């Protein structure tokens, strides 16, 4: 009901809401009429960006906004993060091109499930698959106009009850048994997503790797985008392209050496650097000549 619509304002610095919500870490935000609509903690939210602040609107009264500021990480100071990056040409270009790009703190299950569905898919397709999955198996979420259009992300228990054929109807193809198998292991408490956040990063990664359809890359995405392990460095085809052409020009490098490089060279916020490189490669540097690492 519109009489229960609730508004608030967060003051922020160096926060590029559009870049953050469209940079391939979350897949449910929709840009319409200059605002961003999404679902956080089973609540519908509309976000609007103005200089120095983010305006938030919900469909129900809110007393404590922590669930949203925690998700957006509005309180994080970007300066020390950027200052911890190595001072090289590619990263300078990436930071200058999309300064204000942030990492979110997402729900672990939604993040995990989304990235299981992400393998060898373009971001537009991942968004489509996730939308179908929510519409089919999620629960209605209250929006200002009522209900029926927006759905929550389905819980593991719900996905675990799906047949593989039902999941394939959401266009996820060979990823269906992966998603189902992972949902079952979580529903059966074989893996407890709630306890990963307090573990050392290597132990948390090892737990995620026990899940079907979860390899190093997807595990690192979840560690970075849901649990806030900022040293996690997911290497997908875009980041691999950046690493090879910007940092290892015409040099063959094995996985072990690559891991050592990403774990040391980019510093304690390597995951942040990764996200800047990813977004930069995917948007700004589509087919430009190689900037190179020198100087």
Partner DNA sequence: AACCAGGACACAA
Partner DNA sequence: TTGTGTCATGGT
217 labelled catalytic? yes
- Location of structure tokens 């990403």: 262
Name the active-site residue from 217, 256, 260, 288. 217
Query: Site for DNA (CB under 7 A): which residue of 48, 73, 92, 217?
Result: 217
Query: Site for DNA (CB under 7 A): which residue of 215, 249, 268, 292?
Result: 215
| Shortest reach from residue 136's CB to DNA, in Å | 14
Q: Residue 239 interacts with DNA (CB under 7 A)?
A: yes
Q: Residue 152 interacts with DNA (CB under 7 A)?
A: no
| Shortest reach from residue 165's CB to DNA, in Å | 10
Q: Please calculate the CA angle 226-194-234 and round it to the nearest 5 degrees.
A: 30
Q: Which residue lies nearer to DNA by CB, 26 or 141?
A: 26
Task: Write the interaction track for DNA spanning residues 110-139; mark x where CB under 7 A is met and - where it is not.
Answer: -----x--xxxxxxxxx-x-----------
Burial tier of 208 (Cβ tally within 10 Å: 0-12, 13-18, 19+):
buried
Q: Residue 223 interacts with DNA (CB under 7 A)?
A: no
Q: Please calculate the CA angle 191-194-197 and round it to the nearest 5 degrees.
A: 110
Question: Site residues (CB under 7 A) for DNA?
Answer: 23-25, 115, 118-126, 128, 168, 171, 173-174, 178, 212-219, 221, 234-239, 241, 252, 254-256, 274-275, 278, 282
């Amino acid at each position: 009901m519109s009489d229960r619509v609730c508004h608030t304002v967060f003051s922020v610095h160096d926060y590029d809401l559009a870049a953050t919500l469209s940079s391939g870490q979350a897949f449910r935000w929709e840009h319409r009429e200059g605002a961003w609509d999404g679902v956080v903690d089973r609540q519908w939210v509309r976000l609007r960006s103005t200089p120095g602040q983010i305006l938030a609107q919900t469909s129900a009264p809110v007393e404590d906004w922590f669930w949203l500021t925690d998700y957006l990480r509005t309180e994080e100071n970007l300066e020390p993060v950027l200052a911890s990056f190595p001072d090289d040409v590619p990263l300078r270009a990436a930071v200058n091109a999309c300064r204000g790009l942030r990492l979110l703190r997402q729900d672990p299950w939604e993040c995990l499930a989304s990235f299981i569905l992400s393998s060898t898919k373009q971001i537009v397709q991942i968004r489509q698959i996730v939308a179908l999955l929510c519409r089919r198996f999620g629960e209605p979420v209250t929006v200002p106009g009522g209900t029926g259009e927006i759905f929550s992300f389905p819980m593991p228990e719900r996905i675990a009850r799906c047949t593989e054929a039902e999941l394939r109807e959401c266009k996820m193809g060979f990823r269906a048994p992966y998603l189902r198998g992972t949902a079952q292991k979580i529903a059966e408490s074989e893996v407890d997503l709630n306890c990963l956040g307090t573990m050392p990063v290597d132990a948390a990664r090892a737990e995620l790797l026990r899940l079907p359809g979860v390899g190093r890359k997807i595990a690192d995405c979840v560690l970075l985008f849901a649990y806030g392990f900022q040293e996690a460095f997911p290497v997908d085809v875009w980041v691999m392209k950046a690493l090879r052409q910007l940092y290892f020009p015409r040099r063959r490098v094995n996985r072990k050496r690559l891991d050592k490089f990403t774990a040391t060279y980019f510093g304690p916020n390597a995951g942040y650097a990764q996200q800047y490189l990813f977004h930069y490669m995917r948007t700004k540097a589509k087919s430009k000549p190689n900037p190179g690492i020198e100087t």
